[in-house]
Amino acid sequence: MPQDDMSWGGLEEEAAQGDELATVKRERDRIARQLFETKHRQADYLQTVWGAASDAIGRIQLAPVPVPEPYTPRPAAENEEYAVALLSDLQTGKITPDYDSTVARDRVMRYARKIVALANIQRLHHPVRHCVVPMLGDMVEGVDIFPGQQWLIDSTLYDQLFNTTPALVADFLRYLLAHFDSVTVYAVDGNHGRIGRRGQFGPMDNADRMLYRIIAMLLRDEPRFQLHMTDPQSERNWFHIMELGNYSALLIHGDQIRGSMGYPFYGLGKKVHSWGSGGLGRGVEFTDIMLGHYHQLARIPLNHRTAWANGSTESTNTFAAETLAGQSEPSQFLLFCDPEKGRITASYAVDLRED
């Protein structure tokens, strides 16, 4: 009898374990179904929003920008050069004690006017017919890329992406088109363009990338305007090689360089040397690098390369003051490039503070 009791108890224990395993499997299957449904709901939602926005933008008609008066250089003019106007870290929609979407617009258009004024000074010596605009990301502020961000914005992502920023950037580019024979944009994504927290959506779902597509559609009837960006499938548009004759620059946003408590000089040098020695793939070469992200203007020599670190249009930043003990005046870099000699010949740290 004791032996029979032990056998019966063993069967009961085995049956109980089987029930627990079946319960775990059913719970696993339920969670897998929920995850599948959630992913497809997000994908359907994004596709619907993008389709509606594309249809609406496709019906917008903008009057063509008049061609500027022909420029006649001096008989002994030097090589023609390009104006290279870095544009990044506008973060439209962000609020600080003295910055919001309205201030962002004023400063960007002030930058456009100063680009033309400085180009006219250069034109006294050599032709400057073409303007190139590296857009280095963080064109919008975003709404939920870090906890508490909803208290630091003046507009929703919809307004940032379909109202304030496209109108601002289009007006900036149209102003340049009225003073240059052509305007060409080379664009990369920033981290503030990310939708939601890291990993919540795919890397292609970036508001900067969507903004660039909207700009391309708004200026589709301007034959003197071009926009270039990489569009890798299932990946972020994180770098681009800009080629101007014999000059080339690696364009990134800058969040690829890890650092804290100040500008990451060591990390920048290590990454640039690695990228320049084949880290981007065999045969990918560049003369200089251009980046934003850190909201600080800097010209950093890295042996025979130069890193051009762009500023921001924002000003007072209480987070940077408390965390990094750093502040910067609103500014952007304007460069002039000789494409034949393959080098930058002049640089201006353009001050965007109010007069």
Residue pLDDT, tens place only, 162-181: 889 999 999 999 999 999 99
In CATH, what class is 60-351?
Answer: alpha beta
pLDDT of residue 72: 67
Position 239 pLDDT exceeds 80: yes
Structure tokens at 133: 């605009």
Structure tokens at 80: 């023609």
DSSP secondary structure letters along 190-244? -GGGB-SSTTTS-TT-BHHHHHHHHHHHHTTT-TTEEEE----TTS---EEEEEE
Position 104 pLDDT exceeds 90: yes
DSSP secondary structure letters along 83-146? EEE-B----BTB-BTTB-HHHHHHHHHHHHHHHHHHHHHHHTTS---EEEEEE-S--B--SSSS
Length of the chain: 355
- The secondary structure element, H or E, covering residue 57 is helix 2-58
Q: What is the average pLDDT value for the chain, to the nearest integer?
A: 86
DSSP at 153: B
pLDDT of residue 42: 67
Q: What average pLDDT does the segment 2-24 reach?
A: 64
Check: CB of residue 337 under 8 Å from CB of residue 348.
no
Measuring CA to CA, which residue among 309, 253, 245, 300 is closest to residue 273? 300
pLDDT bracket for residue 70 (50, 70, 90)? confident
Q: What average pLDDT does the segment 231-238 reach?
A: 86
Q: What confidence tens digit (pLDDT) does each residue in 144-166 have?
A: 776 666 657 778 888 888 889 99
pLDDT of residue 13: 67
pLDDT of residue 263: 84
Q: What average pLDDT does the segment 271-296 reach?
A: 93
Q: What confidence tens digit (pLDDT) does each residue in 17-59 have?
A: 667 777 777 777 787 777 777 666 666 767 777 777 788 788 8
Structure tokens at 350: 């353009």
